[in-house]
Structure 1
């Protein structure tokens, strides 16, 4: 770590014992973030996989398969609609009662909703109640996801040593990659089943298996401690009554910066949901092949994301984030071009270059950078709500892409331009945002004064 990274930090260095203690807390927080991310996005993306391969055939009446697929993706998008509400609710709780207990709630909510999807009746059994119940479970998943990533990122960043505030939070993103790998692996035997068995009961197994990850993640997360920087504010009755309102009053620019930068997630959502359906249903690539494509890229991303985050701890957030977003905007045209031809080796190469390369570069940065833009008193709310409003757009891009592309394998241009346009929006937000990698923890964000100064009662 260079001497510049210590600018503005406390004059006296921490003792070796204190440093070891902080490092242990950071490692434990990053493990909890990894496991929580794995569960949340195992659950979230087995729905995306099932929506692409299964749900359009069993939860809707018979008819035009393209219309059914659009309906299935629309329900996928419902989860994104409710993510901002979850961000508001859990962001408020995270800034009021603490990061740890809030994150336990998001974990249990996601795990319970996912298991229940696995026991839902299909359309042939329950008629229109089947898609209604599916929507309800998707709402619960969306609420949970709205608070998970922001909370895990804020907690881990606050526990991280100076000069490593991107590295440790990046394990939340590695957990998400691991969750996508697990989701894809869980569907490989399902994809190999005879069609009748797959549609009747085989698709349910991956949803039931989520209980295993839930139990492990719950046990780790329950053993966490609150970050000291938050505990200090709580002990001195120095929390604000309405973090959401205070965040908008003190951090409006940071909120909009995070919202714009969150558009970078459109790349991953498009590849995981639309790309899978386009390849298998339009081009004719075997579903198992596309699952292996996803597995390879995300398995590598588990390791490349902490690497990119560590580099950003040395050179800054902006260069890595903007470079990754720009690279994804360019490579997405290559990806859809080779996808349309069904060239399997090139599909593997293009997908991996994005997933483990350019997208991993930008994706690994935001768990450290976004919470660094906010004061500790409004950090959870600011990151959660800004992130989820930006991600909201990603949820409906598969439906838009499906409608624009239709059933023509050569008409992939609209899909690529949606991703490229989203990348431009994310770049604008990154250019606007402040560079924070050298800023001491207690100086992050704008000042948020004690609530008594505004005539409020804190708690």
Structure 2
């Protein structure tokens, strides 16, 4: 008996390791691509694809195409989220990484406006749409995958580990652009800008290799075994969980919006007249913030196991709310080192204190039948409302108010308040059983451990008896 249990424990450990690698590489690719595109939008795409416009208008158009990718994300989240809840997590994770990474690689071979005219920005728009479709379910899938295979008591920590890939991808993109910013402009705009996009194919190959070796998650396997897989995940989600989707969107406004404001808009702001920061300053700042995030994301995820998801999330929301006005004022002072410090703290501390607990919290909010779609809709609708239009609004505010920092600070403050209020509207989810079909509720659902190590959860209509270690359902009794 002990040898069988040992074999099962080894397999669970191996699956956890494979899931961590698979999710981390996918996260690294997504945020490498998006950070790369955001930095390119702020610094070079206007000159390559909109050379006939004045710099401010070219910047707005460049960020507009950047925002289009976010508009496609909810569509991708909807399509692949439904598939993830109907046919499983593994298949979707392979498809999305190929679609997202392939689109990014093709950006590296695009012709510019000088070569083919208006066709150039049109092709860029199409690839950005495809990139957004893949990304729309990629991060939701990684989040759900890790939450469903992680040990319950350390779910916050393990679910946050793949998000080191976010920091790694952003760090890599920022470091690449920091180096590229030192090159003569004619070389940078001639062909060097293509290299980082073409390198996406390396991450694709690694991610696909790892993901095809994954097993399906035990929670989805249990759904399939019990013949409980949702036939209509979308209608079921919005019938039973619509309010949770909106609360999840609220939770993401400061985290996602703040991330892109610091990563892209702040970089554009400090290089726009009358400010005089060079192109490397913003890239170095984003790189430092991402380096801090490699440690702060799993650390705050681990703290959420101890102190609760809401407590840690609210702490990050308070940080960014209080930091909004001082941050943009310091950026306006045109001091290189103060700029680097401000952006690094904004990304590494304020944003990532929310991201750490979010990794486990969003999957824990939703029941097993519609979890993938619920997480995808919460993440990707908020990605449009917060991150997607942040560049457009930010660039427009810079132009409309002649580079004043105050409107940008007000914008970030509003996003932060929305998230802070949302932390009071969601239940505490730490330690929740992910086999449960019901969504998280405001009142806690007691879990009783019997003398045999089995756990009993009363959900209102049923009593679910499951193994406290493996999370396998032993028996479901109608009350």
Question: TM-score higher than 0.5 here?
Answer: yes
| 2:388 aligned with 1:400 | no
CA distance in 2 between partners of 1:248 and 1:442 (Å): 20
Stretch of structure 1 that moved more, 402-411 or 246-255: 402-411
In the TM superposition, what is the alpha-carbon distance from 1:353 to its structure 2 partner? 2.1
Moved over 3 A (4+): 14-21, 407-410
Task: Judging by fraction of residues, say which structure has more strand.
Answer: 2
Q: CA deviation at 1:408?
A: 6.2
Matched, 1:269 2:260: yes
| Residues 393-432 of structure 1 aligned to structure 2 (within 5 Å) | 393=385, 394-406=387-399, 411-432=404-425
1:34-67 CA-partner distances (Å, limit 9, x unpaired): 1110011111111111111111011014132101
Match of 2:468 in 1: none
Equivalences for residues 142-181 of structure 1 within 5 A: 142-181=132-171
Shift of 1:213: 1.5
- Is residue 74 from structure 1 mapped to residue 70 from structure 2 by the alignment? no
Tell me if the contact between 2:281 and 2:340 (Cα under 8 Å) persists in the aligned partners.
no
Query: Which string of whole-angstrom CA distances, capped at 9 and with x for unpartnered residues, describes residues 76-100 of structure 1?
Result: 0000111100000010111111111
User: Which is worse superposed, 65-74 or 427-436?
Assistant: 427-436
Alignment correspondent of 2:450: none
Name the structure 2 match of 1:190: 180
C-alpha contact (below 8 Å) 1:256/1:429 kept by paired residues:
no
Any idea what the Cα deviations from partners look like across 1:248-280, whole Å, max 9, x if unmatched?
Answer: 111122111111112121000111111111112
Corresponding residue for residue 228 of structure 1: 218
Matches of 1:357 and 1:194 in 2, distance apart? 34
Specify the alignment match of 2:15 in structure 1: 25
8 Å Cα contact 1:240-1:377 kept in structure 2: yes
Q: Does residue 366 of structure 2 align to residue 374 of structure 1?
A: yes
Instruction: Give 1:313's match in structure 2, choosing from 305, 316, 327.
Output: 305
- Cα shift at 1:160: 0.6
Give the deviation of 1:281 after TM superposition: 2.7
Task: Find the aligned partners of 1:140 and 1:406 in 2 and give their Cα distance.
Answer: 29
Residues in 1 aligned to 2:40 and 2:184: alpha-carbon distance in whole angstroms: 16
Provide structure 1 residue ranges, at least 5 long, that are not aligned to the other structure: 1-13, 450-459
TM-score by structure 1 length? 0.91
Residue by residue over 1:235-255, the C-alpha shift from the partner in whole angstroms, topping out at 9 and shown as x without a partner, is 333211111111111112211
1:41 matched to 2:31? The reply is: yes
**Alignment partners' CA distance in 1, 2:423 and 2:96:** 28
Does the aligned pair in 1 maintain the 2:331–2:342 contact within 8 Å?
A: no
2 CA distance for matches of 1:130 and 1:225?
A: 41
- Tell me which of 42, 50, 60 is aligned to 1:52: 42
**TM-score if structure 2 supplies the norm length?**
0.87
CA contact under 8 A between 1:150 and 1:367: conserved in structure 2? no
Measured in 1, the distance between the counterparts of 2:405 and 2:18 equals 44
Question: In 2, distance between residues paired with 1:307 and 1:138?
Answer: 33
The alpha-carbon deviation at position 20 of structure 1 amounts to 4.8
- Distance in 2, matches of 1:139 and 1:171, equals 28
Change (3 A) 1:407 1:251: closer
**CA offset digits 1:207-249 (Å, max 9, x no partner):** 0111111111221122111111101212333211111111111
Residue by residue over 1:183-205, the C-alpha shift from the partner in whole angstroms, topping out at 9 and shown as x without a partner, is 11222332122111111111111
Give the aligned CA root-mean-square deviation in angstroms: 2.0
CA change 1:99–1:271 in 2 (3 A) is same
Q: Is the 8 A contact 2:167 2:294 kept in 1?
A: yes
**Where does residue 78 of structure 2 map in the other structure?**
88
Higher relative contact order (CA 8 A, sep 6+): 1
- 1:104 matches 2:94: yes
**Equivalent residue, structure 1, for 2:354:** 362
For the Cα contact (< 8 Å) 2:233–2:373, is it kept in 1?
Answer: yes
Q: How far off its partner does 1:16 sit? A: 6.1
The 8 Å contact of residues 301 and 359 in structure 2, kept in 1 or not, is answered as: no
Deviation at 1:345, TM superposition (A): 2.2
Shift of 1:443: 3.3
Deviation at 1:328, TM superposition (A): 1.1
1:100-139 to structure 2, matched below 5 A, reads: 100-139=90-129
